Amino acid sequence: MLTALNANKQLFVLKREYVRDQLLELRKNEQFYCPQCQESVQLKIGQVMIPHFAHKKQSNCQQAFSEGETTIHLLGKHQLYEMFQKLQFKVQLEPYLPKLAQRPDILVEREQQQFAIEFQCSTISIPQMETRTIGYLQANIIPIWILKTPKHKHPYKDGVQQIKLSPFNQQFTTYIQKHAHIITFDPDTAVFLYFSYLMPIEGYRFIAHVQHLSMGNQQFPFLQVKEPTEVEFNIYWRLWKKARQQFLDKRLLISKKGVQDPFLRACYFMGNQVEKLPLFIGIPVSNKVNFSVFDAEWQMLWLMFLYEQGFDLSHISSDVIDGFRKRFPILFINEKAVETLQNYNEILKKLGVRQINSDFDEIALYQYLYAQFLAKG
């Protein structure tokens, strides 16, 4: 941690402007205590690590458990704290919030609203993150989670592209006007990286608008990436079609179950070649991943199910959806999947699709995708 109480119970912040000699002097002459448990803490001044306070080894303090803090986390906290100071907000570093028994990395106040900034460098479990988020919200504090920019083989270039986000990274998604965004920060370069207007392809893969923003240009509330232009949307459209086609081309080859493969059977049963399925099979519907398979797969199975059962898209009751779910339970990851399926039906209706060999309006599909993932709602 970067803060501690001195002997007079005053909060001491280890600002970056202290030079090594000053700190050595301080350590000789001052005693420091943990703001949370009041135990005495050590001022660590190493050659490699950023100077910080640490509990003694046998401490039971909650804070002590999170002391595997990395240099990058300490550096990030310094930078974000200084940024809010420069922007002239009321800001506190690691303040202890007794009600929550929690210490956000940074607490910043704007127009009487407090924001907890959590800069996340190590993995945190989904339930843990949810608990902390709920705690903040109950205390009327808005939490903002910032992920450390994920390591990537080649530096990201700005613009629309396909990216991969691990489930851990996906936890940091926030929704602005229904569109999905992730904001990350890299202390090594002092640059924010935005993954905006996320369109899921499958599992870890997304199409995203990637944008760098140096810390010097950041504001608060954090700047948002502009709505993609028509030219940029055309790249989304092209990348989506390409990813979908690649999936279909490969799908025949990767089938492990042969003739038992439900998806291939469905294509065969309906008299469709896998690689020539109409474009309305494989549409991204939700900006979360709710099905265990690629969109084209569950959508094909759904259309076949309707055909087999003799249902028309204009009359889909929840019983029909239940029947489908019982038939293919493995497809449904979560409860949201049902809603996604209903939304898919609505899209098909709008496209004028009644069954699998229907003609459809490709321009309407283009417009749907634009409205769903990019347009201001």
Compute the distance between CA of residue 102 and CA of residue 295 in angstroms, rounded to an integer: 41
In the block, tokens 């595997």 appear at 68
With binding defined as CB under 5 A, does residue 36 bind Zn ion?
yes
Question: How far apart are CB 65 and Zn ion at their closest, in Å?
Answer: 10
Q: Which is nearer to Zn ion, 39 or 109 (CB)?
A: 39
Compute the distance between CA of residue 113 and CA of residue 229 in angstroms, rounded to an integer: 33
- The two structure tokens encoding residue 269: 């049963």
Question: How far apart are CB 41 and Zn ion at their closest, in Å?
Answer: 7
With binding defined as CB under 5 A, does residue 102 bind Zn ion?
no
Q: Which is nearer to Zn ion, 15 or 56 (CB)?
A: 56
DSSP state of 274: G
Choose among 365, 363, 345, 364: nearest CA to 355. Answer: 345
CB 182 within 8 A of CB 198: yes
Number of H helices, E strands in the chain: 11, 14
Per the document, the length of the chain is 377
Question: How far apart are CB 55 and Zn ion at their closest, in Å?
Answer: 6
Q: Which is nearer to Zn ion, 63 or 290 (CB)?
A: 63
Question: How far apart are CB 59 and Zn ion at their closest, in Å?
Answer: 6
Q: 166-187: buried (b, 16+ CB within 10 Å) or exposed (e) per residue?
A: eebbbbbbeeeeebbbbbbbbb
The 323-352 site mask, x for binding Zn ion (CB under 5 A), equals ------------------------------
Choose among 50, 47, 67: nearest CA to 187. Answer: 50
Q: Which is nearer to Zn ion, 34 or 108 (CB)?
A: 34
Alpha-carbon torsion angle 179, 180, 185, 191, nearest 10: -40
297-326 residues near Zn ion, rule: CB under 5 A: none
The 212-231 site mask, x for binding Zn ion (CB under 5 A), equals --------------------
Question: How far apart are CB 64 and Zn ion at their closest, in Å?
Answer: 6
Q: Which is nearer to Zn ion, 103 or 179 (CB)?
A: 103
Distances (CA, A) of 287 to 174, 235, 371: 11, 18, 12
With binding defined as CB under 5 A, does residue 37 bind Zn ion?
yes
Question: How far apart are CB 206 and Zn ion at their closest, in Å?
Answer: 40
CB 212 within 8 A of CB 192: yes
Q: Which is nearer to Zn ion, 63 or 169 (CB)?
A: 63
CB 369 within 8 A of CB 237: yes
Q: Say how many residues touch Zn ion, by CB under 5 A.
A: 5
Q: Which residue stretch of 18-26, 27-35, 208-216, 282-290 sits at the interface with Zn ion (rule: CB under 5 A)?
A: 27-35
With binding defined as CB under 5 A, does residue 63 bind Zn ion?
yes
Largest Cα separation within the chain, whole Å, is: 84
Q: Which residue stretch of 37-45, 110-118, 283-291, 325-333 sits at the interface with Zn ion (rule: CB under 5 A)?
A: 37-45
With binding defined as CB under 5 A, does residue 211 bind Zn ion?
no
Q: Which is nearer to Zn ion, 5 or 45 (CB)?
A: 5
With binding defined as CB under 5 A, does residue 61 bind Zn ion?
yes
Q: Which is nearer to Zn ion, 41 or 165 (CB)?
A: 41
Q: 281-308: buried (b, 16+ CB within 10 Å) or exposed (e) per residue?
A: bbbbbbbbbbbebbbbbbbbbbbbbbbe
- Which residue ranges make up the site for Zn ion (CB under 5 A)? 34, 36-37, 61, 63
